[in-house]
Amino acid sequence: MMKTIVGWHVDIEFTEDEVAGKTRAACMVRLPDGTEMRAHGHAKRHPDDMEQQRVGEEIAAARCLNELSRNLMKKAGGEIEEATHIPAHLAM
């Protein structure tokens, strides 16, 4: 049986520039060690595409979470190297 030992919550906030057709996302996760990690993502609607706010949010959020993921991997790699004194090569 698996136990849940900790839970993380990622907050994502969006800003829209309807005139320019741009959506920006900012995400943040607070880790159990107190570290707050932040990232950003964006989406831009092509002028010929119909306006779908939800799609812009999904794309901006995906890009934001991708950046956050890379930052978490970098942090974890640094912690592994600090503990082992051996270069860490973490794959995505």
Q: SS3 of 26, please?
A: strand
Distance, CA of 76 to CA of 55 (rounded, Å): 31
- Structure pTM? 0.84
Amino acid at 76: A
Six-digit token pair at 77? 């790699």
Integer Cα distance of 6 and 33 in angstroms? 12
Q: Which residues contact 58 (CB under 8 A, 6 or more apart)?
A: none
5/11 Cα distance (integer angstroms): 20
pLDDT, tens digit only, all 92 positions of the chain: 888 788 899 999 999 998 888 999 999 999 988 999 999 999 998 877 777 778 999 999 999 999 999 999 999 999 999 999 999 999 88
